[in-house]
Amino acid sequence: MDNWLTTSAAEQGRAIEAGKIDPRDLTEAYLAAIGAHPFAERIYARLTADRARAEAAAAADRAKRGLRRSLLDGVPISWKDLYDTAGVATESGTALLEGRVPERDARVLVNATAAGLVCLGKTHQTEFAFSGLGLNPVTASPPCVNDHEAASGGSSSGAATSVAFGLAAIGIGSDTGGSVRIPSVWNDLVGLKTLHGRLSLEGVVPLCARFDTVGPLCRTVEDAALMLAALEGGKAADLTGATLKGARFAVLETQAFNGIEDAPRAAFAAAIERLKAAGAGIDRIDVPAVDEATRLGPTLFPAEAYATWQHRIDAEGDKMYPPVRARFLQGKTISAADFISAWRELDCLRLMYRDAVSGYDAVLLPSSPIMPPKIADLEKDADYFTERNLMALQNTRIGNLLGLAAITLPSGTPSCGIMLQGEREEHLLRLAAAMERALV
């Protein structure tokens, strides 16, 4: 059974459908793997073993009677520790919410359960999801799958590593400035950032409600499409016949290449050549609205984050990891007038960006301009933590600020990825499916 743990969720689902796997055996195999793994306590905040076994038993019964609810019915997955789980602590990676136990599941968890997914447990994350590095000295810092001394990326750090280390078929994370995509790229996964508002935030511990999004971290594009459907209770995008022939892409120059390290630059360039060989047309463009929108980030993100949690932080902020607390406190002096003015400007810049890229199927850029930094280096130098955090999120936050969907794919070089962003998840998923084949 162990050899199934690192296959795609879709493959597991098809094996359940064919009677090759019993969901109960699959769930027990994952629980056993978690129990035996040396990094389990750094990846999972807590398990929901009783719930998982009950859900797996129900899935097995449905499979036996030919009543499966979806292709992923009976497949075990993990949930970031900001998704409410009835009767189970949901603490968003911070001591400020220690002992917080919700009465109801988050809406997306309700939907996933209705589709037959099995909940293995809650994964570690950075505090309140406000860092792209995955470092959390308050709770735990999961290691990168490619370098166990390096950070895993955040804030959905445990979501990514639960999949990368074979301890879940899919991880559910959230993305406010890159928190699905950075851990996905550093752990060689597919990460989908959904359009803001597409998936429910009911029962999700907030950071910045106007930017927060729900998204899956997966092994394949097919898994991302299937999980998106399960999270919203809808139908998965049809990926059959996806091709790059005739597709038009723009490579976003602007800030996306500022300070980029050699490995991500080379990996991106090699990926672009493979996409061209597969029939894609690629132009390089400079869109001034991107840099102008990014300039607004230091006003918009901290102001809303601090406004959301100011009472807790002002009362108990000394319980927080100081560099993360400092990020929140940047919002304390931002006036309401500056915040509203920044949003008005951003709304205009979003229109300008859409006009500039309207002739392209999607825009391409390196998923992260840097490689995963060492955990020890981040812990001993707060200034280094801040600088690396800003660099990690340099490219991903473009999509959040401009209100776009985005998906990151492994490039073939460890911890380096290629990202495409656009207006609709279904269109991006079809393009990504074709790109996935070209990048193998």
Which amino acid, 43? Answer: I
Alpha carbons 101 and 103: distance in angstroms, whole number: 7
- Fold match flag (2-232 vs 248-296+322-438): yes
Alpha carbons 326 and 275: distance in angstroms, whole number: 41
Q: What stretches of 171-243 show up as alpha helix (H) in DSSP?
A: 181-186, 221-232
Q: What is the mean pLDDT of each run of 10 residues along the chain (440 residues)?
A: 91 98 98 98 98 98 98 98 98 98 98 98 98 98 98 98 98 98 98 98 98 98 98 97 97 92 98 98 96 97 98 97 97 98 98 97 98 98 97 98 98 98 98 96
Residue 66 pLDDT: 97
Residues 6 or more apart whose Cβ sits within 8 Å of residue 278: 244, 245, 434, 435, 437, 438
pLDDT at 255: 87
Domain 248-296+322-438, what architecture?
Answer: Alpha-Beta Complex (3.90)
Catalytic (active-site) positions: 80, 155, 179
Q: Are 131 and 324 in contact (CB under 8 A)?
A: yes
> In angstroms, how far is CA 93 from the centroid of its own chain?
16
**How do 213-218 and 118-123 pair as beta strands?**
unpaired
Q: Which residues pair with 47 in a beta bridge?
A: 121
Pick the CATH number of 2-232 from 3.90.1300.10, 3.40.630.10, 1.10.10.10, 1.10.4160.10: 3.90.1300.10
- State residue 254's pLDDT score: 80
Phi, then psi, of 290 in degrees rounded to 5: -65, -50
Q: Quick one: pLDDT at residue 174?
A: 98
Delimit the domains of the chain by residue range: 2-232, 248-296+322-438
* Angle, CA of 273, 225 and 202, to the nearest 5°: 125
